[in-house]
Structure 1
Amino acid sequence: MQRVARLIARNPRSLQLRAASHATSETPSTSSIATTKMESLLTGDIPVEKRSLTRGLAMNKFEKDFMIYPEYTETDDLRNIEGFVKILQETLERTVDERALEKAGELSPEVLNALRASEIAGCFIPKDYGGLGLTYKDFMKINEELSIDWSVATHTTVSHMVSSLILLYGTEAQKEKYLPAIASGKVRPAITLPVGIGSLTSSAEVHGTSVTGLDGTLMAENVQAYGADKANLLLAFAYVKDASKELNLRCFIIDRPQMKEGEKWETKRDETLGLKAVDVSRVTLTATVTEQSVLGDNGKDVASEALSCTRMPLSAAAVGYGKRVLEDIARIANETESLITPGVTLSAHSHIHRTVSQLSLQLYALESVCYYLAGLLDEKLPVVVDVESALLHRLTRAFLRSTTTALLEILGTRAVDSRELFEKRIRDVATLMAMFDESDTVEQVALATMSTWTSRMGKQSKGYSTLRRLLGAEKTMADLRDPKLQHFIAEHAHPSLQLACQELEHSMVRLDAVLSKLLSTDGKQVQADYQSLERLVHVLENNLVMVCTIARASRSYSVGLRNADAELAWTTWLATERSRESWLHLNELSDCFGLIRLNSSLLKSGRSVLEWGGYRIESPVERNW
Structure 2
Amino acid sequence: MRVLRLSTRHLRQCRRYSSEIQTDSAQREVKKEPEVPKFLSNAQVLEDKRVPVEKKSISRGLMLNRFEKDFLIYPELDDKKAADNIQAYCRHLKYVLEVALKSNDPIASVNQVLLQNYVFAAYVKKEFGGMEMNRREIMCVNEVIGNQDLSSFCNVSSVQLATFLIQNFGNEEQVKRLLPKVGTGQIRVALGTDNVSESRSLRVSTFNDKLLLNGKVENLINGADADIFLCFALEKNDEGKETIGCYIVDKDNIKGKVKIESARKTMGLENVKFSNIKFSNVELSPLDKLENNLTGDQIFASIAEMNRSLNASGAIGAMKRVLADLSIKANRTMSGRHKTLSQNSAVISVVNTLVREIHYIESVLYYINGLSDEQLFVVNDLESMIVEKLVCSALRKTILSLTEVMGITSVDSDLPYNKWLRDVATFSCLLNNEHKLSAEITKHVVQNMKDENMKWHFPASRLMFMFVPQSSTFKPLPTKMTHFIAEHVHYSLKNCATRFEFGMGQCQEAVYKTLGKNKYQIPTGKERQIENIISEMTVQQVLCAALLARTSRSYSIGLKNGDVEFQWTNEYGLKFERSIRVNIRELWHVWKMKDYNKPVVHKVYPFKLPQALQKAVEDERGFEFDFEGTMAEDGEDKIKDDLKDEVKADSDDHFENHVDYEKKNGEKLEKERDNGEEVGKEHDNGQEVGKERDNDQEVEKEQAKGHEMKQEARR
- The alignment's TM-score, normalised by the length of structure 1, stands at 0.84
Match of 2:358 in 1: 363
Separation in structure 1 between the aligned mates of residue 156 and residue 40 of structure 2, nearest angstrom: 19
Conserved 8 A contact 1:531-1:599: no
Give the deviation of 1:25 after TM superposition. Answer: 7.7
Report what 2:79 is aligned to: 74
C-alpha separation in 1, matches of 2:184 and 2:236: 36
| Residue identity (%) | 26
Residue aligning to 2:25: none
1:449 maps to amino acid: V
The answer as to whether partners of 1:217 and 1:288 remain within 8 angstroms in 2 is: yes
Q: Which amino acid aligns with 2:424?
A: V
Q: Deviation at 1:68?
A: 0.8
**What's the offset of the Cα at 1:222?**
6.2
Indicate if the aligned counterparts of 2:151 and 2:269 stay in contact, CA closer than 8 A: yes
CA distance in 2, matches of 1:428, 1:112: 19
CA gap 1:114/1:574 in 2 versus in 1, 3 angstroms: same
* CA shift in 2, pair 1:227/1:26, >3 Å: farther
Instruction: Indicate how the Cα distance of structure 1 residues 401 and 343 shifts in structure 2: closer, same or farther if over 3 A, else same.
Output: same
Instruction: Report the Cα distance in structure 1 between the residues aligned to 2:54 and 2:260, rounded to whole angstroms.
Output: 50
CA contact (8 A) 1:195 1:203 kept: no
- Which of the residues 327, 334, 337 maps onto 2:324? 327
Q: Between 284-293 and 438-447, report the one with greater CA deviation.
A: 438-447
Instruction: Pick from 295, 307, 314 the counterpart of residue 310 of structure 1.
Output: 307
Aligned position for 1:10? none
Deviation at 1:437, TM superposition (A): 2.1
Structure 1 letter corresponding to 2:432: D
Residue in 2 aligned with 1:9? none
Task: Classify 1:378/1:333 alpha carbon distance in 2 versus 1 (closer, same or farther; 3 Å).
Answer: same
Shift in Å, 1:24:
9.8
Q: Distance in 1 between matches of 2:207 and 2:431?
A: 32
Aligned to 1:622: none
Q: Distance in 1 between matches of 2:325 and 2:446?
A: 43
Partner amino acid, structure 1, of 2:501: E
Q: What is the rounded CA distance, in whole Å, between the counterparts of 1:188 and 1:609 in structure 2?
A: 52
* Distance in 1 separating the partners of 2:249 and 2:634: 45
Cα drift, residue 419 of structure 1: 1.5
Q: 2:391 aligns with which of 396, 399, 414?
A: 396
Distance in 2 between residues matched to 1:97 and 1:206, nearest whole Å: 46
| Conserved 8 A contact 2:472-2:593 | no
How far did 1:363 drift? 0.9
- Counterpart amino acid of 2:181? A
**Is residue 590–residue 628 contact of structure 2 (8 Å, CA) maintained in 1?**
no
What SS does the corresponding residue of 2:546 show, helix, strand or coil?
helix
Q: Which moved more, 1:493-502 or 1:363-372?
A: 493-502
Partner of residue 135, structure 1: 134
Contiguous gaps of at least 5 residues in structure 1? 1-17, 102-106, 618-625
Tell me, yes or no, if the aligned pair for 2:442 and 2:535 is still in contact at 8 Å.
Answer: yes
- Alpha-carbon deviation of 1:265? 4.7
- Determine whether 1:281 maps to 2:275: yes
Q: CA deviation at 1:308?
A: 2.5
Q: Residue in 2 aligned with 1:39?
A: 46
Comparing 562-571 with 288-297, which one deviates more in the overlay?
288-297
Partners of 1:587 and 1:433 in 2: CA distance:
32
Q: In structure 2, which of residues 558, 565, 568 is the aligned counterpart of residue 567 of structure 1?
A: 565
Closer, same or farther in 2 for the Cα pair 1:25/1:236, shift >3 Å?
Answer: farther
Residue type matched to 1:320 in 2? G
CA deviation map 1:420-444 (0-9, x unaligned): 2221222212222222325532222
Aligned-pair distance for 1:257? 2.4
Matches for 1:131-530 after TM superposition, within 5 Å: 131-147=130-146, 148-194=148-194, 203-209=201-207, 215-221=210-216, 223-241=218-236, 248-260=243-255, 263-286=257-280, 287-296=282-291, 298-338=295-335, 341-437=336-432, 440-457=436-453, 459=455, 476-479=474-477, 483-522=479-518, 523-526=520-523, 529-530=527-528
AA matched with 1:498: K
- Equivalent residue for 2:56, pick from 51, 56, 62: 51
- Displacement of 1:198: 11
Deviations 1:181-235 (A, max 9, x none): 2112111110234376998xx843334445xx6x333233464312111111111
Say how many residue pairs are matched.
569
SS at match of 2:475: helix
Gaps of 5+ in 2: 1-12, 18-34, 595-625, 645-715
DSSP 3-state at the match of 1:580: helix
SS state at 2:277 partner: strand
Once residues 115 and 352 of structure 1 are traced to their aligned partners in structure 2, the CA distance between those partners, rounded to angstroms, is 37
Deviations 1:572-600 (A, max 9, x none): 11121133112201111133433898655
Change (3 A) 1:430 1:59: same
Q: CA deviation at 1:141?
A: 0.8
Q: Deviation digits for residues 264-305 of structure 1, max 9, x if unmatched?
A: 352321112211100101112343211111223644434443
Instruction: Say what the alpha-carbon RMSD is for the aligned residues.
Output: 3.1
C-alpha distance in 2 between matches for 1:400 and 1:40: 36
Q: 1:396 to 1:571 in 2, by over 3 A?
A: same
Partner of 2:98: 93
Tell me which moved more, 166-175 or 108-117. 166-175
Task: Tell me: CA distance 1:24–1:270, structure 2 relative to 1, closer, same or farther (3 Å).
Answer: farther
Q: Structure 1 residues 354 and 267, CA, compared in 2 at 3 Å: closer, same or farther?
A: same
Tell me, what secondary structure is at the counterpart of 1:46?
coil
Pick from 57, 63, 68 the counterpart of residue 68 of structure 2: 63
| CA contact 1:198–1:224 (8 Å) conserved in 2 | no
What is the Cα deviation at residue 168 of structure 1?
A: 3.2
Evaluate the alpha carbon distance shift between residue 441 and residue 168 of structure 1 in structure 2; reply closer, same or farther with a 3 A threshold: farther
Aligned letter for 2:288?
A: S
* Residue deviations 1:435-455 (CA, integer Å, cap 9, x gap): 232553222211211212222
Cα separation, 2, equivalents of 1:455 and 1:245: 28
Q: Judging changes above 3 Å, is the alpha-carbon distance between structure 1 residues 464 and 579 closer, same or farther for their aligned structure 2 residues?
A: farther
Structure 1, 548-557 or 287-296: larger mean CA deviation: 287-296
Decide whether the 8 Å contact of 1:228 with 1:267 is kept in 2: no
Q: Partner residue of 1:620?
A: none
Does the 8 Å CA contact 1:209/1:241 hold for their aligned counterparts? no
Quote the offset at 1:94 in angstroms.
1.0
1:453-512 Cα offsets, whole Å, 9 max, x none, are 222235177676899867x765x5222xx6433222111111211121122112101111
Distance 1:511 1:378, change over 3 A: same
User: Residues 312, 245 of structure 1: CA spacing in aligned structure 2 closer, same or farther, 3 A cutoff?
Assistant: closer
Within 2, Cα distance between the matches of 1:228 and 1:205?
18
Q: Which residue of 2 aligns with 1:542?
A: 540
Deviations 1:151-178 (A, max 9, x none): 0110111112222222333222222221
What is the one-letter code of the residue matched to 1:573? E
The answer to whether the 8 Å contact 1:70/1:375 transfers is yes
* Contact 2:191 2:229 (8 Å CA) reproduced: yes
SS at match of 1:368: helix
Q: Which has the larger radius of gyration?
A: 2
Alpha-carbon distance in 2 for matches of 1:378, 1:238: 30
2:633 to 575, 582, 604: 604
Give, as a single letter, the amino acid of the residue that structure 2 aligns with 1:187.
I
**Structure having greater relative contact order (Cα 8 Å, sep ≥ 6):** 1
